[in-house]
Chain A
Amino acid sequence: MKTQMETRTWAERVSHSSLRLGIWTLLWLITLALATFGPLFLWPGQKAISGIAVVINLAVGIGMILAHIRNLKNQDELQQKIQIDAMALSLGAAVIGGISYSLLDITHLIGFDAEISHLVILITLTYVLAISAGKRRYR
């Protein structure tokens, strides 16, 4: 396996690790959907199966994180910089935006509950926009 990795070109290694990351992400989404909708439609009332589904989702999530780290290490230094800048911005947006959003909820300035899904959307949008801006900056 190691010999096979060494004979690959850099571009092939990046492509391969990106594909692996894509597969892990897809698997995580499938297990997330199973853990979310399984208790409602597939195994209602079966708490043990729901627990197993959550544990599987968590395990696959850890695999996805490791695949992301491996993918990042395979990128060249400019791509790594773009990715790290985008992640830093996303983290900042998550902390600052999340706390402000929570305050709006606690002080009843918004008429609905602050949902974690809204924060995930904010992080995703920030990350995508920052990656796009980074790629444009170094074009």
Chain B
Amino acid sequence: MKNRLKVLRAERDWTQAQLAEALEVSRQTINAIEKGKFDPSLPLAFKAARLFGLTIEELFQYESASMS
């Protein structure tokens, strides 16, 4: 699953640690999501989308290749 987390975070001049604190997760989790190594749960995806004032679809893009 692709996402725009890194771009949106950079636009707001937030660090990974600040975003992690806002979403109540560890900095490692933010880093793993940004790098596409870890897909967040639906509640966390909603929380992130709400934080950026976007819909989930605007923040995360589903890729069928990631099914494997």
Please report A residues at the B interface, Cβ cutoff 8 Å: 9-11, 76-79, 81, 135, 137-139
Cβ–Cβ contact A79 & B21, under 8 A: no
Q: Which of B3-11, B24-32, B53-61 contacts the other chain?
A: B24-32
Given contacts A78-B29, A138-B32, contact A10 B24 (CB under 8 A): yes
B24–A78 contact, CB under 8 A? no
What does DSSP make chain A's interface, helix, strand, loop or mixed? helix
Cβ contact within 8 Å between B29 and A135: no
- Residues in A with CB closer than 8 Å to B41 are 77
Within 8 A of A (CB), among B14-35: 21, 24-26, 28-29, 31-32
Which of B26, B31, B37 sits near A79, CB closer than 8 Å?
A: B26
Chain B residues within 8 Å of A78, by CB = 25-26, 28-29, 32, 38
The CA of A131 and the CA of B25, in the complex, are separated in Å by: 18
Instruction: Name the distance in Å between A27's Cβ and chain B's nearest Cβ.
Output: 27
Task: Flag if B29 contacts A79 (CB, 8 Å).
Answer: yes
- Supposing A78-B26, A79-B29 touch, asked if A138 and B21 sit within 8 A by C-beta, the answer is no
* Alpha-carbon distance A76/B48, docked complex (angstroms): 14
Q: Write the B38-49 contact mask toward A (1 if CB under 8 angstroms, else 0).
A: 101100100000
Question: B37 near A137 (CB under 8 angstroms)?
Answer: yes
Q: Considering the chains assembled together, what is the distance between the CA atoms of A77 and B26 in angstroms?
A: 9
